[in-house]
Structures are given as C-alpha cells and as structure tokens.
Amino acid sequence: MSTPMQNQISNITRPDVQTKLSIQDLQELTRQLRLDILQMIFEAQSGHPGTSLSCIDILTCLWSVVMTHDKNRPDWPERDRFVLSKGHGAPALYAILMHEGYIPKEEIHTLRQVHSNLQGHPASKYIKGVDISTGSLGQGLSAAIGMALGLRLNQSPAHVYCLIGDGESQEGQIWEAALSAPAHNINNLTAICDRNGLQIDGCTEKIKPLGDIGSKFESFGWNVMEIEGHNFQQIIEALHRSKSMGQETSKPTMIVAHTTKGKGVSFMENEAGWHGKAPNAEQYEKAVADLQPDVYYQRLREA
Amino acid sequence: MAILSPSIDLEKPEKIALRTQYGKTLAELGEQYPDLVVLDADLACSTMTKYFADAYPDRFFNQGISEADLMCTAAGLAAVGKIPFVSTFALFASGRAWDQVRNTICYSNLNVKICPTHSGLSLGEDGASHQSIEDIALMRVIPNMTVVVPSDAIETERVIRWAIDTEGPMYIRLVRPNHAVIHTADYRFEPYKIEVMREGKDLTLCATGEMVYHALLAAKWLSEKDGIEAEVLNCVFIKPFDTETLVKSARKTGKVMTIESHQFIAGLGGAVCEVLSEFQPTPVKRLGTRDQFGQSGKPDDLFKAYGLDPQSIYQEAKAFIQAS
Ligand SMILES: Cc1ncc(C[n+]2csc(CCOP(=O)(O)OP(=O)(O)O)c2C)c(N)n1
Ligand SMILES: [Mg+2]
C-alpha cells in the first residue's frame, strides 16, 4: 500500500481555469463552506451536519482543485464526473456547488423545503453538476463504474470520482462493485472512502466491523492509498496520483480518507448523535463561534 | 366495527408516533415471548427498535447498513423457530430487499414480521430517495404476504400484539411523525376486518394508514358544511382485503374514494378497484401520488403539494359527489 507523498505543495493548478489556490486559501474556503453547511441545516431544521463536515474538505479539493469542469458548460462531455454515493452529504455538495457557481447562492435558504432544488439527497433532476441521484446507500460506486466504462468507450479523457461512506460499505453492493471494477480493468476511476468510523447507531467497528478497508480493496485488485482526510496536501496529492496510477496500472484506485465526523465544530466531532440532527438556536450559535477564524484556526493547529 | 369515539377531537387530536409505540410494544413483549428477536439495519434510533435493544441486547441484532443481509438473516432465525421482527425504513425493506423478501421469506412462508417505519410522504425532508410510496404495491403482490397498515399508535400496538401470535410473513407499514390518535384505549381490533369509523350514505371514503385521520376530518367538514354524509373505512388490512365490508358500503353509497400516502396505482386504490370491479362495479376516485416521485418538505407541506391534506380531500370528495 502506498503512503501519500510528503513534499510541500504551495500552489495547486486547476487544469481548466488555471486558478491557484494555496493550502491557506483552501483552509479559509472550507471554513466558510462549513458555515454555509450549518446555515442550511439550521434554517431547514433538518439535514446531516456530521456527515457533511466530515467530507467537505475532500469535496472542495475535488471541485475547486482536481476535477476538470466548467460551470458554463455543465453538460460538457469531457468533464470529470463526481458521484456522491453517500448522498446524505448533500449539504456539503450544495455548499461547494454554490461556491463553484452551479447553484445560485440565494438557494441556500431552501434546503429540504417543498419545491426546492436542494433536496434532502442530491437529485439530478434539480441540480446541474449532479449526474446521478443518490441517497439509497451502496449504489453509487456501481454507477460510477458504469460511467467510467462508458467514458472509456467514448475515448473520453474524463475521470470519475466517487465518495462512499464507511458505514455505507456494509452494503453488499459495494463489494460487488469492488469486484467489478478490476474485472473491467477500470483505469479512470477514483473512489474515496470517508472513513470516519461512525454510522447512525454508533461506531462502525462495533456494529459491523469493516476492519482494514484499504487492504480489503487491495486484495480485490485496487490501487489503495491511505490519507488524512482533512489534510489538503495529502488529499490533493492522492487524488492527482490516483489518476496517473490508474493509467500506469490499469486498475481503479481507492483512497481511504481518515476523517473526523463533524470536523470543525467541537461538540459535533466524533459524536454519532450529530449524524442527522439539526442544531437548535443555541447550538447553532456555538457552532458558528467554533467556525470563527481565531477559534477555528487555533483548533486546527491543536488537532 | 368501531365508530369514531365522540371523545376524540379531530380538530385537536392527541398525537403519538406510531414508531415509538411500536418500539415500546416490542420491549413489553420481550419477557412473555422468549423467541421474539428483533433486527435492524443501522436505524434502531429511528425505527425505535432501540427500546427492545436496550432491554434485550442478546436478542437484538443490528445488521448494519445491509438490508438484503438483514432480511435473509431474519428468514434463517424464523426457520429455526424464532419470531423475528425486522425494521428499517420502508423503502429499503420493500424496495432494496424485495427479492430477498419474496424468495427467501415468502416463498418459504417464514414467520418474519417486517415492520418498517418512515413509509409514505410523511417521511418528509429526506425526500424522494427515501420516500416509500410504492411499498404497499410491492408487498401485496407477493404470495403468502399479509399487508397491514395501522392508522394510529393505538392500532399499532394492537396489530403488533396480534401479529406476534399469528404465523406467516407480514409487512406492517408504519410512519415517522407524531400522528393523531383516532382510537380510544378500549379499542377492540378485529383482524382481517375493515373498520367502519363513520357511517354515511352519500359516499365511501376508503383510507389507509396516516390518511384515515385526514379522511375523518374531511368527512366531518363534508357533514358540517355541506350536509354530505361520508362513510369512512379504515382499511387496515390491504391483504387479505375485507371484500364483504367494502362491497356492503359501496352498495349503500354508490361512490367510493380511496386515499393513501402512496402511489395511486396498485396500492389501496388498486386493491379497492380489483374488488369492486369483480363484486360490485362502482365509480371510484383514487387519491394518492399520481405516478410521480415525492420530494423534500415538511409532511404537511407535502400533503398539500400532493392533494392529500384534509382540505384537498374534502374538496375532491365534494367535486366527486357533485359530478355524479
Ligand atoms: C440503503 C440505505 N439504508 C439505510 C439508509 C439510512 N442511512 C442514511 S445515512 C446512514 C449511515 C451512513 O453511515 P456512513 O456511510 O458511515 O456515512 P457518514 O458516517 O459519512 O455519515 C444510514 C444508515 C440509507 N440512506 N440507505
Ligand atoms: Mg461513517
């Protein structure tokens, strides 16, 4: 199993728009997106904060750094694809898609309301940037493999990214897909597992232990990398590397991202109870306080 | 037969969640039934099987997020004489694991009680991906399956106590929100029977589950505002269906409206049309989601958006009477 590279990245280039974002920029952006996520869920009084805070750093690296896409051409055939198999992370996806210009910022107030585009789980019917609707766990990885196969048939340079949950990996279909991708020598697929150790009823390792997910995928024929899922340098390195490794090995890649559910809000971190519960006014205020620059960066430094 | 008690104030009813009642009833039954086992798929805090899990951890199995595995494990437990009650969200119980329910549970006619929660539109904010509005249809079409849809917490408790003593696969469909209580503590549940909750001569309102309360309110307004007397049937059994009670009512009123928190195809509306076309051809108007997906929203907003709130039912009923 490979470990992430340790060299310092100062500037990361996004292929299509040539924007340069430093690690500091990404830290600041994801701090703001965390506030957006909490605002959406607080106003809706419904949604999944723990889940969204767990994966927002990964989604931001994908959409703002690694993926090739163009908001002005959302149907561009050569664009990279993303499948949020753990669909309950929708607020995180909406936050980054708002930032990237796929969703009007005003819609931030409409999460989970009747007649809104911001459905509880991402739906292709309502959102540009969502190609496949998700929410029923375990299905997205197979769909991502289908996309990768189709793009290969089209000789497209596009790469497919798919984020799955660790609890989600208790679904048998994940392992059916895990067998399929190497069987088809898929080389244009990167899956990421949000390994936060929690599901709804508690710890994954108490309910139905997943053990070493990385070695499981490795034994199924995948390239595997293990990273810290809130370390931007590691996330970006691994994502870039997965693409070249795919080409070199003709294998799909699994990045096991070790994350903290609820990351950034002290009282939500590592608490299964914050999986799918909206904060009340007092808790929201506390969460917002945790996400003010001084407190937030102080806590990041201590972590 | 149990006419709505005058002590129930339909405009300001007491509200209890069916799933909470379900969980508590299971925990109460644990001692008397040593063979009772309960299974869940990472939703014990939502389906409320946690009450049983806390009281009888040795007889509770959290299968994780693995619904296919959940159903077949329950089948195995039943095959060696246990009485498994199985819960998850209705969509995953009926949809995700349909083949397992059909082939492993029902084909072997195993004594598995599938008691999903979060069925229908009132699932609410999670939206279409989690809204189970096809499950009555999916489950009633499987041979050996009994399909039961309780209308409130009191009926839920009666149904669970009856089900544990009754052999065979069952699908007992429950909902998420706190829901109006429309039965009194002395309610006598009659298995396999439609419950006539209100008598009337002008129109039959056949409702199931969370829609029974809405039908009762609509019937009250029809009587008070328009002098229209609707008969309200609580169709707690979708399968087997109580043909006799339905036919008797249809013969009296000559008009039947079906109301369900489910697609208007193949669920209660479908069952009613099958029975009536064979035994008592009668004009039928079906209310439900109209071959469309649901969406996110608060339950009451969704009922309005899909014409299933008491006011819409009242108006549809009036229009149906006036048109004929
Ligand atoms: C098929 C299916 N079963 C159950 C659920 C309900 N559910 C939603 S989220 C969740 C837990 C997911 O845990 P995990 O995959 O670890 O995600 P995360 O920790 O990132 O929130 C469950 C059981 C679902 N959405 N789909
Ligand atoms: Mg998890």
pTM of the shown model? 0.95
**B170 found inside a domain:** yes
Task: Give me B115's structure tokens.
Answer: 């008691």
Q: Does A79 touch chain B (CB under 8 A)?
A: no
For the cut 90, the answer to whether the pLDDT of residue B79 exceeds it is yes
DSSP class of residue A100?
A: T
- B200 and B171 within one domain: no
- B157 and B71 within one domain: yes
- B173 and B46 within one domain: yes
**What is the rounded average pLDDT of the residues B174-184?**
98
Tokens 């949809």 sit on residue = B95
For the cut 60, the answer to whether the pLDDT of residue A229 exceeds it is yes
- B206 and B85 within one domain: no
Q: Does A136 touch chain B (CB under 8 A)?
A: yes
Which among B180, B208, B229 is the end of a domain? B180
DSSP class of residue A108?
A: G
- The residue among A169, A201, A275, A277 with the most chain B CBs within 10 A of its CB, best to mutate, is A201
Chains A and B: how many Cβ contacts under 8 Å?
A: 98
Residue A113 has φ and ψ, to the nearest 5°, of -90, 160
Rg (CA), chain A: 18
Domain boundaries, given as residue ranges, for chain A: 23-302
B237-260 pLDDT, tens per residue? Answer: 999 999 999 999 999 999 999 999
Contacts of A300 (CB under 8 A, 6+ apart): A27
For the cut 90, the answer to whether the pLDDT of residue A1 exceeds it is no
The domain of B102 spans 15-180
Q: Does B225 touch chain A (CB under 8 A)?
A: no
What value of ipTM does the predicted structure carry? 0.94
For the cut 50, the answer to whether the pLDDT of residue B235 exceeds it is yes
Q: B11, B14, B28, B67: which is the annotated catalytic residue?
A: B67
Contacts of B19 (CB under 8 A, 6+ apart): B46, B47, B48, B117, B118, B174, B175, B176
CA–CA separation, B74 and B37 (whole Å): 9
Total number of domains constituting chain B: 2
For the cut 60, the answer to whether the pLDDT of residue A299 exceeds it is yes
**What is the rounded average pLDDT of the residues B205-214?**
98
- B145 and B255 within one domain: no
B307, amino acid identity: G
**What is the rounded average pLDDT of the residues A3-9?**
41
Instruction: Give SS3 for B168.
Output: coil
- B158 and B208 within one domain: no
B275-292 pLDDT, tens per residue? Answer: 999 999 999 999 999 999
- B138 and B22 within one domain: yes
Task: Give me B245's structure tokens.
Answer: 């009670």
Its sign, for the CA torsion A220, A222, A226, A229, is negative
For ligand 1, say whether the CB of A97 is within 6 Å of any of its atoms. no
For ligand 1, say whether the CB of A263 is within 6 Å of any of its atoms. no
- B243 and B99 within one domain: no
- Bridge partners of B84, per DSSP, are B37
- B125 and B28 within one domain: yes
For ligand 1, say whether the CB of A197 is within 6 Å of any of its atoms. no
**What is the rounded average pLDDT of the residues B232-239?**
98
**Do the beta carbons of residue A41 and residue A48 sit within 8 Å?**
yes
CATH code, B235: 3.40.50.920
CA–CA separation, B62 and A174 (whole Å): 19
B8-66 pLDDT, tens per residue? Answer: 999 999 999 999 999 999 999 999 999 999 999 999 999 999 999 999 999 999 999 99
- B208 and B271 within one domain: yes
- B23 and B156 within one domain: yes
Which among B153, B180, B207 is the end of a domain? B180
In this complex, do A207 and B124 lie within 8 Å of one another by their Cβ atoms?
no
Nearest-neighbour CA in chain B from A170: distance (Å)? 5
Strand A12-13, strand A20-21: pairing = antiparallel
Rg (CA), chain B: 19
**B274 found inside a domain:** yes
For the cut 50, the answer to whether the pLDDT of residue A9 exceeds it is no
Q: Is B1 exposed, middle or buried (0-12, 13-18, 19+ CB in 10 A)?
A: exposed
- B83 and B161 within one domain: yes
**B70 found inside a domain:** yes
Task: Give me A27's structure tokens.
Answer: 């830290």
Q: Does B193 touch chain A (CB under 8 A)?
A: no
Q: Which residues of B150-180 are buried (b: 16+ CB within 10 A; e: fewer)?
A: bbbbbbbbbbbeebbeeebbbbbbbbbbebb
CA–CA separation, A111 and B17 (whole Å): 25
Overall fold of domain A23-302: Rossmann fold (3.40.50)
CA–CA separation, A58 and A81 (whole Å): 15
Say how many C-beta atoms besides its own lie within 10 A of residue B72's C-beta: 19
A156-203 pLDDT, tens per residue? Answer: 999 999 999 999 999 999 999 999 999 999 999 999 999 999 999 999
A18-74 pLDDT, tens per residue? Answer: 567 999 999 999 999 999 999 999 999 999 999 999 999 999 999 999 999 999 999
Give chain A's mean pLDDT: 94
pLDDT at residue number A8? 39
A209 upstream amide cis, omega within 30 of 0: no
CATH code, B83: 3.40.50.970
Q: Which residues of A259-282 are buried (b: 16+ CB within 10 A; e: fewer)?
A: bbbbbbbeebbeebebbbbbbeee
Q: Does B67 qualify as catalytic in the annotation?
A: yes
For B33, B233, B255, B311, B313, the CA distances from B322, given in Å and listed in that order, are 53, 21, 11, 17, 14
Residue to probe by mutation, ligand 1, list A168, A204, A205, A270, most atoms within 8 Å of CB: A168
